[in-house]
Structure 1
């Protein structure tokens, strides 16, 4: 079953992301922390559902529910064109993976209650200055880069708190 409302809300959230170089610089440390936590969480999910190929942007939703279908017209809203290239800094393929996850609704939490939402750290990272890119084993954050490393290395890490107060404190320390 597809949670269309959750998928639509996620598309809206992703399309609203804008690159803000000053905010990205001001949130350099918290964005690095969020990138690390994103990699840890997606690694744990990839191992749990057998979606190691393509990690950290593997199709976790498809591995969890191979029957999942998201309206192609909804996913088409994620495409980048000349009018949105500067406003929407999330690769459409990455955004589609996140929307497909949202379309699962509560299924992931029901099946794996011990695992945290894999994409919330990345969504928070986007809200703290916008986009990222992936190149040569790094997540490029605009004001620095963060190594991806191996799936096993990332899955073995201890979780980091990513609440607003902790993230704000990390930024003040820089």
Structure 2
């Protein structure tokens, strides 16, 4: 069993540090679309590689790679929505848990599949660019726009696109 508790804790902190800024949604619409596309491509490739196609794009990639990966439930509880809070945590709990469980794998994914990029980094970058997302009838809604999910096979064959800060800033500036 592989469990990198420190990495899981760092991921929870990263998720809790996201500043949900609905005003940023329009300003970052193009980059958020790019990040969504890359998230779907990467998770499709990982789902195929580890046999976690059920429930894609939000399948249990970590559990498929290491069924014994475990994260302290108290750590995950920090991400639960607080009904008393003014601004509830806007990530669906099962998705937040999937991201934290992936982090808990530490270097195992890179060791087993060095050719594949981190599946959740595009989603984390999307969060960092303000605003959340929602799912609706085969689309990921990004505030002022939607992005089609399509099939796992269609997304898995796409070429990677750059998602570095400079490229994302340029996309938003062009928009």
TM-score, length-normalised on structure 2?
Answer: 0.96
2-side partners of 1:116 and 1:171: how far apart?
23
Which ranges of structure 2 fall in alignment gaps of 5 or more residues? none
2-side partners of 1:106 and 1:97: how far apart?
16
Which ranges of structure 1 fall in alignment gaps of 5 or more residues? none
Partner of 2:162: 161
Q: Does 1:99 align with 2:108?
A: no
| Moved beyond 6 Å, runs of 4+ | none
Structure 2 SS opposite 1:139: strand
Alignment of 1:4-19 (within 5 A): 4-19=5-20
Structure 1 SS opposite 2:140: strand
Counterparts in 2 of 1:45 and 1:84: CA distance versus 1, 3 Å: farther
Q: Does 1:60 align with 2:61?
A: yes
Partner of 2:150: 149
Native 8 Å contact 2:131 2:143 kept in 1 = no
Partner of 1:51: 52
Q: Cα offset for 1:17?
A: 2.1
2-side partners of 1:85 and 1:136: how far apart?
28
Native 8 Å contact 1:51 1:63 kept in 2 = yes
Question: CA-to-partner distance for each residue in 1:37-88, whole Å, 9 max, x for gaps?
Answer: 0000000000000000011110000000011111111111111022347242
